[in-house]
Amino acid sequence: MPLANEVAAGNFDRGILICGTGIGIGIAANKVKGIRAALCHDTFSAHASREHNDANILTMGERVIGKGLAMDIVDIWLQTEFTAGRHQNRVDKISEIEKA
């Protein structure tokens, strides 16, 4: 999982992975310590995955969504920042799981 390894190493801030459904590539990416890959097939999920969960990899399914929607999802995902605050607790809990 080269892209996930690069993001986890800090060589890239974020990454985007695409497969047929977005499911398998997301499962694989989430096996890499430090990765929070989010499968998004709508703009609301793309926004929330960044704002609330600090997702650092976006996964999408090319057989699931069309090109126009995919581009909207990417634009929103790249433009949305993590708000931390009360959401930081959640991200910290996720990171703790990786230490086990």
Q: Is 40 a catalytic residue?
A: no
Q: Is 52 a catalytic residue?
A: yes
* Active-site option among 19, 41, 47, 87: 19
Q: CA-CA distance, 43 to 93, in Å (whole number)?
A: 25
Q: Which residues pair with 60 in a beta bridge?
A: 18
* Active-site option among 41, 47, 52, 87: 52
Cβ pair 12, 6 in contact under 8 A? yes
Contacts 24+ apart (CB under 8 A), 83-87: 83/51, 83/52, 84/54, 87/51, 87/52, 87/53, 87/54
- 70 by DSSP, 3-state: which? helix
Give catalytic residues, as residue numbers: 19, 52
